[in-house]
Amino acid sequence: MSGTLESLNKHFGLSGKINFVEDHNLVKLEVLSQSSRLECYLQGAHITSFKHNKAGELLWLSPIANFAQGKAIRGGIPLCWPWFGKHSDASLQQHGFARNSLFEVSKTSALDNGDVEIVLRLTANETTLSIWPYQFLLEVSITLGESLSVELISHNKDDKPFFVTEAIHSYFKLDDISRLSIGGLEGAKYYDQLSDKECVQAEVNCCINQETDRIYQAPENGIQLLHNDGVKIGLVQENANAVVVWNPWVGKSASMNDFPDSGYKNMVCVEAANARYKVINLAPGSRHSIKQTLQIALE
Ligand code: BG6
């Protein structure tokens, strides 16, 4: 591990901005911009912390998350790819293999405006080919500054077309779920995954007081996640046709071994996705990008 870290820091480290460290036997990037700090594991290109200088930590990370090679980390921003949700083949794990796969670093740079950019990549290997028989390149471009952008770029490197569904599965940290309201979804159609019904959001704000698992048709004007302690997060989603809102509430929290029983009180997932309403059809040689930017405003 120490040789790997030395080589990563030599080729991709940026003094005072990007440092590679070992954590739980995994490689983690610590990234510093003028206005924020980020932590990201190479496994899954998984961001686990986004701390804004004024607003504090914005992401929820389970205090009992598993950190182990090949295991998805509970919390932060897992990436669901090349499929979102359950696969029709029940032997294949929910949300695809990207979140369990080891990414490589492709590029790091300090931008002129003080932001820091990191590009991570995953390509087909023996394991992915045994699950999903396509040659691909998945790039994850992360830009950290006053806001945080995560972009997923799928490239078809095969000689046959393939389909992708995907999500930037963001877990937000809350003081208290009872004080959360999500704006921007009024009038939006959604599929309720719990009741298996198509519904329409009647209320101006989406508030959560029970188990919630919905796939909304993405609204045109973005959504606002209203934090309960005066922090407002604007979510700008590009090329996403769906927004997933998930909170496991009491019963489901208790059934997950990497999730504290009372964890549902302090988190909500709001995910930019391409799922249910549209699959991405990628012809050989083509690419598709989905992007989510978290913009922070203090009230
Ligand atoms: C959400 C799904 O995106 O992720 C839920 O809509 C699912 O149905 C949740 O339970 C968590 O999934 P996982 O595989 O990380 O436990």
The best mutation among 71, 95, 190, 270 to test binding of ligand 1, ranked by most ligand atoms within 8 Å of the C-beta, falls on 95
Banded model confidence at residue 228, pLDDT cuts 50, 70, 90: low
Token pair recorded at residue 122: 């995953």
Q: What is the pLDDT of residues 116-164, one digit of tens each?
A: 999 999 999 999 999 999 999 999 999 999 999 999 999 999 999 999 9
- The answer to whether 169 is a known catalytic residue is yes
Catalytic residue among 52, 155, 169, 227: 169
The answer to whether residues 144 and 39 touch, using CB atoms and an 8 Å cutoff, is no
Question: Which of the residue ranges 101-105, 202-206, 249-253, 284-288 would you say has the lowest mean pLDDT?
Answer: 202-206
Residue 227 has pLDDT above 80, yes or no: no
- How are the residues of the chain apportioned to helix, strand and coil, as percentages rounded to the nearest 5? 10, 45, 40
Q: What is the pLDDT of residues 84-123, one digit of tens each?
A: 999 999 999 999 999 999 999 999 999 999 999 999 999 9
What average pLDDT does the structure give for the chain?
96
Overall average pLDDT of the 58-71 stretch:
96
Alpha carbon distance 36, 136 (integer Å):
32
250 alpha carbon – ligand 1 mean position (Å) = 15
Nearest alpha-carbon partner for 74 in 248, 291, 274, 289 = 248
The pLDDT of residue 221? 79
Element (H, E) at 8: helix 2-12
Residue 55 has pLDDT above 90, yes or no: yes
Atom of ligand 1 nearest to the CA of 273: 3
85 alpha carbon – ligand 1 mean position (Å) = 7
| Residues with C-beta less than 6 Å from any ligand 1 atom | 94-95, 169, 193, 213, 244, 246, 271
Alpha carbon distance 57, 50 (integer Å):
6
Bridge partners, 282 (sequence order): 162
Alpha carbon distance 29, 46 (integer Å):
10
74 alpha carbon – ligand 1 mean position (Å) = 10
- The answer to whether 155 is a known catalytic residue is no
Token pair recorded at residue 71: 């295991």
Nearest alpha-carbon partner for 93 in 82, 77, 106 = 82
pTM beyond 0.95, yes or no? yes
Token pair recorded at residue 204: 């101006």
